Amino acid sequence: MDPAHRAVLRKLRAELCSQLLVSESILPVLFQEGVLTHAHVEDIESEPTDTRKSQKLLDILPNRGPGAFPAFMRSLADFSWIRDRLLHELQAEPEPRTNVHVPAVILKAFLRELPEPLLTFRVYNQVQEILGESCRPSSTGRPSWF
């Protein structure tokens, strides 16, 4: 299942569990489309309350492959307000943020593969002199780079 679909199901879990009646229309569709096995249906049906049945379904659904969420949406024909709510949340869901460490790792790998390091020993002394001058205290008593 797509991470955005998982996130929406997690975000709306309490609302879904309180409003869905999975036995009547949802389970037959998901079983018919091959999202749920007979064992899954029996496991869900064995729960004592509708809320627990919905919770069990939402526990199983994210692990049932990429077609699970679209099939779940189709099974919500009798619950159009829930389907609309899920669609609204999907559209409002922000783009996943990229890991801030990825650019740093790529840059490090690039710099390691350079044929000659950027800071060679030929210019090392010049860099040290420049840094030394900029770090000397000025008339204010602080280094000039402050």
Give the model confidence (pLDDT) of 50-88 as tens digits. Answer: 999 999 999 999 999 999 999 999 999 889 999 999 999
What's the pLDDT at 108? Answer: 73
Question: pTM value?
Answer: 0.62
Question: pLDDT tens digits, residue range 20-30?
Answer: 999 888 999 99
Query: How far apart are alpha carbons 75 and 69 in whole angstroms?
Result: 10
Which domains does the chain show, CATH number per domain? 3-92 (1.10.533.10), 101-135 (no CATH)
Residue 120 clears pLDDT 90, i.e. is over it: no
Burial of residue 74 (CB within 10 Å: 0-12, 13-18, 19+) is middle
Question: Do 8 and 93 touch, CB atoms closer than 8 A?
Answer: yes
Give the pLDDT band (50/70/90) at residue 34.
Answer: very high
